């Protein structure tokens, strides 16, 4: 028995040695290459140990190639077409005669293909696997992203991969029905041909990583003849700080805080006087989308006195840079002021504290966000905060609430009462446009408020069971009640909370997911327990925490979940619907996506408030797991300084990669947001690190002194 075991072991060792030798031999063989040495494929092949011989023309590469070798012909300046990259029939015949395995990419001409002079620039299209050649991990209809692809459209009969706008998380759920499909990779004339810059995978940040690697393993195995390629030297320019199971250093959360706070400067999101004119070109004032190129790293970061813009959109350009969203929003000013003040306090950073104060002044005093009727005591719109500088006459209670909460926290961290009057006015302005049952609705317009008067809204009957839009304004009412004792704030809030909890879940108007509704609902429930610690209020809080924790993964991530029936946004019933409305990161429940824009960010903050209000160890465990998850998935990038320290909206915790359905028309999978995402995560991490909460940070507020006369005047 021992002899047999020994023989088996020796056989396995021999097999392993032979396999390793074959792989090393294959890597040591020559590969012939036309294209730029800066090309991602060229650099990867070098790192993997292949001997690469470079030539100035495709024909020269084929001429020099030995019998049965591999030749790569890559466009030299993608996405520009390459006039030298022309494939003739003579070249193909020569390659076939010599048994050369040929990969051709982005050719200007190719026998049997009608190739146009100019490529098509794609936007929402994704790569769709169409043939079963890539193994079990990439079956037909599997998806991956070739960001900002420039593709030369051709017609072929059986492509291996196409580019198309399709619905789905990681699978084209409706196939390729009723959508334009561009052949991306196919076999032609004995060669493997790609009609886009597929070799731009590192620079263009194609993903998810494992899918792109699988495609390239297939291509390289076919061209090199080596079936055991592992691609151990793969590089990502943007990646998570830590792997799923990697032990976290003792100072990991503190490092996250430092990087997260510095990111606001890294991205040049604070407007500076020297480039204010550049911002105004893209701010959306002329009824245009507030989108533009990233701010150059050569530009100075402002001091907050001109405000801070939103962050990145989900559009990743072919060079790996990311489009910016230049919208100047009220909520973002308040939220970032909170994060800057909290970080300034923790890190003793005077620059952060100055920026925080400047942002609050911009919000309340120097911008148009509280100008005009909003600053006229005789106007029913008095005290409200405009949605954004280009649209300062629209009021979302949800956005107002986060602006207010942010400024409250900033004032407490900065130990000042200078904005107490404006904070009270903002809360009461929202409260007096809140109906009898405690609901305000999704949005109000200034013209309607002035026409109807605030009493019309205060006396109307309205039920709107959407915690995303309603619940954090309830939190503002509870907070101000705790400081002033003004009973109507508590009474209407309790009424709305009871109606909402009684209607859960069937009556809830869910938006991008049910999880965001739960995450938002936890905060007012936690603060209601602070004010009235009754069995019923504890039960409500525990129910909502338990409901969201059903979906907390072992990694700490909170899985997205669609509600029953149709949500608030357009249902994706066909491929044509993809990218036409706001929406979820998933197509169906069970997909392993988590959201930092609507769920995990607000859940971390709210769960910490719930734990600090109750001392419940279950809540504490959930907070710690979610905090660690967010620490792990924070972006690190030495190449893209404007992303280093950020959190993107989407994370696939199954693949451990930045991936999801990118269907959301405004805030897709790879967006960042200085307010909603970054500010709440940074602030929550600080409060967890310091073992406190928003409620405790703001407990010494003396707002009552200035609040009482404001309430009396505004509620007459």
Average pLDDT, the chain: 95
CA distance 583 to 667: 9
In 328-467 the beta strands, taken as DSSP E runs, fall at 394-395, 444-445
The pLDDT, as a whole number, for residue 130 is 98
Q: Where in the chain is the domain with CATH 3.40.50.880?
A: 2-236
For 368, left (φ over 0), alpha (ψ -120 to 50), or beta? alpha
Least-confidence region, from 18-27, 533-542, 568-577, 682-691: 18-27
Average pLDDT over every residue of 491-515: 96
CA distance 318 to 300: 25
9 — pLDDT class (breaks 50, 70, 90): low
The pLDDT, as a whole number, for residue 205 is 98
How far are the Cα atoms of 7, 33, 220 from residue 225, in angstroms, in the given order?
Answer: 31, 16, 8
CA distance 20 to 110: 38
CA distance 116 to 142: 28
The pLDDT, as a whole number, for residue 345 is 98
The pLDDT, as a whole number, for residue 155 is 97
Closest C-alpha among 234, 214, 205, 199 to residue 79: 199
7 — pLDDT class (breaks 50, 70, 90): low
The pLDDT, as a whole number, for residue 294 is 97
Give the max Cα distance, the chain. 98
The phi, psi pair for 312, rounded to 5°, reads -95, 145
The pLDDT, as a whole number, for residue 399 is 98
CA distance 425 to 440: 17
| Overall pTM > 0.85 | yes
Per residue in 437-478, pLDDT (tens digit) is: 999 999 999 999 999 999 999 999 999 999 999 999 999 999
The pLDDT, as a whole number, for residue 29 is 74
Instruction: Give 247: exposed, middle or buried? Use CB within 10 Å, 0-12, 13-18, 19+.
Output: exposed
Start-to-end CA distance of the chain, whole Å, equals 96
Q: Where in the chain is the domain with CATH 1.50.10.10?
A: 252-714
CA distance 456 to 451: 10
- Tell me if the domain spanning 252-714 has CATH number 1.50.10.10: yes
The pLDDT, as a whole number, for residue 6 is 52
Per residue in 675-704, pLDDT (tens digit) is: 999 999 999 999 999 999 999 999 999 999
> In DSSP terms, which residues pair with 186 in a beta bridge?
193
CA distance 494 to 477: 10
The pLDDT, as a whole number, for residue 82 is 97
617 — pLDDT class (breaks 50, 70, 90): very high
The pLDDT, as a whole number, for residue 567 is 78
How far are the Cα atoms of 69, 75, 453, 568 from residue 46, in angstroms, in the given order?
Answer: 17, 18, 71, 51
Task: Specify the pairing of strand 291-292 against strand 322-325.
Answer: antiparallel
| CATH, range 2-236 | 3.40.50.880
More confident residue, 10 or 226: 226
Total Cβ atoms within 10 A of residue 101: 20
pLDDT at residue 620 is higher than 80: yes
Give, for 211, the enclosing helix (H) or strand (E): helix 209-224
CA distance 201 to 183: 18
In 379-468 the beta strands, taken as DSSP E runs, fall at 394-395, 444-445
Q: Provide CB contacts within 8 A for 608, sequence distance 6+.
A: 623, 684, 687, 688, 693
Give, for 73, the enclosing helix (H) or strand (E): strand 70-73
> In DSSP terms, which residues pair with 635 in a beta bridge?
240
Average pLDDT over every residue of 226-234: 94
pLDDT at residue 633 is higher than 80: yes
CA distance 107 to 86: 6
pLDDT at residue 232 is higher than 60: yes
pLDDT at residue 280 is higher than 70: yes
145 — pLDDT class (breaks 50, 70, 90): very high
What own/partner pairs with CB < 8 Å and gap ≥ 24 does 280-283 have? Answer: 282/324, 282/326, 283/309, 283/326, 283/327, 283/328, 283/389, 283/390
On the CB side of 451, CA atoms within 13 Å amount to: 5
Per residue in 48-86, pLDDT (tens digit) is: 999 999 999 999 999 999 999 999 999 999 999 999 999
Q: What percent of the chain has pLDDT over 70?
A: 96
């Amino acid at each position: 028995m021992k002899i047999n075991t020994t023989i088996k072991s020796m056989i396995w060792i021999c097999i392993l040695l032979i396999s390793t030798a074959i792989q090393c031999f294959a890597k040591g063989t020559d590969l012939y290459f036309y294209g730029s040495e800066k090309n991602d494929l060229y650099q990867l092949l070098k790192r993997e140990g292949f001997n690469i011989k470079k030539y100035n023309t495709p024909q020269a590469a084929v001429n020099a190639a030995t019998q049965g070798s591999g030749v790569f012909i890559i466009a030299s300046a993608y996405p520009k077409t390459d006039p030298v990259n022309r494939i003739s029939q003579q070249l193909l015949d020569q390659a076939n005669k010599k048994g050369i395995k040929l990969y051709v990419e982005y050719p200007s001409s190719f026998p049997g293909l009608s190739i146009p002079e100019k490529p098509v620039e794609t936007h929402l299209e994704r790569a769709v696997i169409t043939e079963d050649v890539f193994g079990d991990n990439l079956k037909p209809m599997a998806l991956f992203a070739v960001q900002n692809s420039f593709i030369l459209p051709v017609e072929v009969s059986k492509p291996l991969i196409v580019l198309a706008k399709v619905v789905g998380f990681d699978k084209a759920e409706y196939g390729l029905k009723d959508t334009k499909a561009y052949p991306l990779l196919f076999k032609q004339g004995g060669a493997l041909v790609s009609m886009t810059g597929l070799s731009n995978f590192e620079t263009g940040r194609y993903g998810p990583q494992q899918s792109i690697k699988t495609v390239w393993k297939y291509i390289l195995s076919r061209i090199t003849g080596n079936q055991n390629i592992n691609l151990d030297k793969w590089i990502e320019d943007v990646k998570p700080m830590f792997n799923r199971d990697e032990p976290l250093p003792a100072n990991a959360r503190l490092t996250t805080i430092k990087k997260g706070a510095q990111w606001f400067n890294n991205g040049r999101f604070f407007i500076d006087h020297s480039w204010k004119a550049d911002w105004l070109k893209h701010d959306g004032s002329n009824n245009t989308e507030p989108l533009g190129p990233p701010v150059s790293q050569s530009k100075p970061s402002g001091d907050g006195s001109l405000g801070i813009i939103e962050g990145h959109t989900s559009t990743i350009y072919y060079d790996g840079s990311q489009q910016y969203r230049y919208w100047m929003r009220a909520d973002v000013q308040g939220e970032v002021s909170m994060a800057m003040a909290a970080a300034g306090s923790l890190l003793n950073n005077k620059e952060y504290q100055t920026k925080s104060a400047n942002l609050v002044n911009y919000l309340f005093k120097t911008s148009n966000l509280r100008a005009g009727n909003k600053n006229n005591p005789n106007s029913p719109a008095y005290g409200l905060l405009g949605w954004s500088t280009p649209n300062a006459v629209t009021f979302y209670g949800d956005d107002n609430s986060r602006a207010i909460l942010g400024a409250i926290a900033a004032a407490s961290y900065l130990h000042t009462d200078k904005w107490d009057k404006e904070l009270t006015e903002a809360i009461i302005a929202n409260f007096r446009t809140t109906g009898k049952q405690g609901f305000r609705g999704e949005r109000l317009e200034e013209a309607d408020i002035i026409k109807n008067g605030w009493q019309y809204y205060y006396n109307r009957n309205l039920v709107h069971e959407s915690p995303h839009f309603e619940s954090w304004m309830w939190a503002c009412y509870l907070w101000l009640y705790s400081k002033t004792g003004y009973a109507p704030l508590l009474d209407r809030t309790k009424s709305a909370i009871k109606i909402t909890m009684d209607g859960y879940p069937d009556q809830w108007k869910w938006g991008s997911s049910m999880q965001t509704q739960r995450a938002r609902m936890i905060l007012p429930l936690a603060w209601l327990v602070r004010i009235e610690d009754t069995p019923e209020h504890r039960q409500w809080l525990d129910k909502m925490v338990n409901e969201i924790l059903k979906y907390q993964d072992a990694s700490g991530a909170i899985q997205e979940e669609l509600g029953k029936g149709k949500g608030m946004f357009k249902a994706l019933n066909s491929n044509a619907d993809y990218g036409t409305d706001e929406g979820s990161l998933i197509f169906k429940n069970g997909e392993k996506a988590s959201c930092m824009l609507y769920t995990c960010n607000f859940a971390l903050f709210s769960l910490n408030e719930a734990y600090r209000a109750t001392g419940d160890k279950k809540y504490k465990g959930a907070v710690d797991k979610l905090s660690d998850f967010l620490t792990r998935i924070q972006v690190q990038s030495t190449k893209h300084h404007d992303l280093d320290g950020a959190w993107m909206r989407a994370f696939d915790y199954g693949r451990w990669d930045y991936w999801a359905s990118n269907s959301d028309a405004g805030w897709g999978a790879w967006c960042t947001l200085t307010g909603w995402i970054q500010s709440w995560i940074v602030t929550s991490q600080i409060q967890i690190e310091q073992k406190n909460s928003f409620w405790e940070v703001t407990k010494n507020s003396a707002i009552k002194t200035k609040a009482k006369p404001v309430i009396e005047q505004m509620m007459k």
